[in-house]
Amino acid sequence: MKKLGLSAALMAMASPALAQEAQSLDARVNEAFATATGPFVSFIFAPIPGTSFPWIVMWLVIGATIFTVYFGAVQFRFFGHAIKLVKGDYSDPNDAGEVSHFQALATALSGTVGLGNIAGVAVAVGIGGPGATFWMILAGLLGMASKFTECTLGVKYRNEYPDGTVSGGPMYYISKGFNELGLPGGKILAVLFSIFCILGALGGGNMFQANQAHAQITQITGDYPGWITGIIFAAVVFAVIVGGIKSIARVTEKVVPFMGVLYVGAALVVLIVNFNMIGWAFGQIFAGAFTGLGVAGGMVGALIQGFKRAAFSNEAGVGSAAIAHSAVKTKEPITEGFVSLLEPLIDTVVICTMTALVIIISQQLLVDQATGNYMLNEAGTAIATVDGNSGVALTSAAFGSAISWFPFVLAIAVILFAFSTMISWSYYGLKAWTYLFGEGKTTELVFKIIFCIFIVIGAAASLGPVIDFSDAAIFAMAVVNIFCLYFLMKLVRTELASYAGRLKSGEIKPFTH
């Protein structure tokens, strides 16, 4: 009976009527999703009155600038020291076997390096033009100070349980830090952050990944309903996070760094082959940054896109990295702050810039030869591209124009990046969830099941609503986190002054290995 049912279903799947039904299921999911998330998205991206500038973008940039000034450009002063810490020069050999600075950094990076660097940059450059790259790099450099602040606090105020496990992140430093300073409202803000963190985990850490992985697969296989990709992804993620099938996670851990190196290597190849165009590409980036070169919204349009995508890609100020970094073994919480400031540098300043350069150099964006400005698509919302591509498809086409087989490698990379980001964010979301509802097997299982359901929704919905919701949810985390960091940053400054003094006096010195 079961067999009959299955074959009937398979036959029906093959029929055009059912295929249409499946497509319309995607459309229904999409519509319901867009309606449900609309008000939240509108609030987060509301423009500053009298301008077209979203207040949230201003919020992130002002935050990063304040941290940069407050800590005296810590990202540049302690850059060399951060490298030494990652190399293990200051690690006690007796702590071998604990989480090293390198490992905490690598884990945090595996959560951020991914689709933001591949698809997100294409969205930024596709809408904001090459000029968006300039603002993205600037946001990346400033964001290093935000990351430093939050990750130092993440380690300082983590929970260490009697069984030796640790839990950390903004929800812990907000409630404990506010308590220590005698400020009211810490608990409420921590709860609010946790709610947004769960939404962020379901949005940017999940739906956006599933959505773009599906887009990448259909580039190769041809179009088919997104929920099918969603179910497959959901099943694999379920096997890892609920079934505890560590082997899948282990393979991903090994392959993802390799893919990252391969991606950067391929981008370098494209850049070396076209090295005579690199100067021109930077010219476009600078010109576009201040004039917009005809993009929708002009210079401000380029700036908004650049800042938005940088924040989405490196998550500086969002608070997610503080969760990942909090497991490190160190007696000095600030050392993890130094290490974490390398993250936006690697993620945004290096990898995102490479993607942007490849897209610009491959001339996927159409230029009006008469004016030298970029041509807009029919809707006037984004730059017209050679094949009408956007998002990950645009990056894929850009690489494909130089290395014909690379889109296949990219497809595998996108799927693996999407997967590793989902695993990372399932953990961030889970930590926020257990902060709200308490630790326990059943509570954890409920979150993990919800997480898997959202993978299916993400793969089925279209890019527009998914990207809006993903951005909105992640930025909502930054609203609470940065607000609280303003109150807590003096605690970090005390740590910084003490550490810098001891480093100078020679009290803190490298171990001879």
Partner 1 sequence: MSMKLVVGLDGHATGEKALSHAIALAKMAGGAEILVVHIIEWSPYSFHTAEENAMRHKRREEEIALAQDRIVAPAVKAVEEAGLKAAGKVRHGDVADTLDAITKEEKGDQIIVARASDGGFASRLFGSATSNLVMGASVPVTVVN
Q: Which residues bind partner 1 (CB under 8 A)?
A: 88, 91, 93-94, 96-100, 102-104, 106-107, 110-111, 163-167, 249, 253-254, 256-257, 323-324, 327-329, 423-424, 427-428, 513
d(CA 46, CA 54): 5
State the alpha helices, DSSP H only, in 203-297.
Answer: 208-221, 226-241, 246-273, 275-291
Nearer to partner 1, 46 or 96 (CB): 96
Nearer to partner 1, 59 or 157 (CB): 157
Least distance from partner 1 to the Cβ atom of residue 440, Å: 16
Sign, CA torsion 212/46/294/132: negative
Least distance from partner 1 to the Cβ atom of residue 186, Å: 23
d(CA 201, CA 422): 8
Least distance from partner 1 to the Cβ atom of residue 248, Å: 11
Q: For tokens 């506010």, name the residue.
A: 178
Nearer to partner 1, 26 or 150 (CB): 150
Nearer to partner 1, 136 or 198 (CB): 198
Residue 20 makes CB contacts below 8 A (sequence gap 6+) with none
Nearer to partner 1, 270 or 415 (CB): 415
Of 430, 417, 23, 29, which is closest to residue 210 (Cα–Cα)? Answer: 417
Nearer to partner 1, 386 or 449 (CB): 449
Output Rg (C-alpha) for the chain, integer angstroms.
23
Q: Are 366 and 386 in contact (CB under 8 A)?
A: yes
The continuous run of DSSP H or E covering 166 comes out as: strand 166-167
3-state secondary structure of 28: helix
Nearer to partner 1, 142 or 259 (CB): 259
Least distance from partner 1 to the Cβ atom of residue 103, Å: 6
Least distance from partner 1 to the Cβ atom of residue 330, Å: 12
Q: Which two tokens stand for residue 481?
A: 């986190």
Q: Which two tokens stand for residue 469?
A: 């919701």
d(CA 210, CA 199): 15
Least distance from partner 1 to the Cβ atom of residue 95, Å: 9
Nearer to partner 1, 314 or 390 (CB): 314
Of 97, 120, 107, 212, which is closest to residue 154 (Cα–Cα)? Answer: 107
d(CA 293, CA 374): 6
Least distance from partner 1 to the Cβ atom of residue 428, Å: 7
Nearer to partner 1, 40 or 102 (CB): 102
Least distance from partner 1 to the Cβ atom of residue 257, Å: 6
d(CA 111, CA 415): 14
Least distance from partner 1 to the Cβ atom of residue 485, Å: 21
Please count the other Cβ atoms lying within 10 Å of the Cβ belonging to residue 513: 8
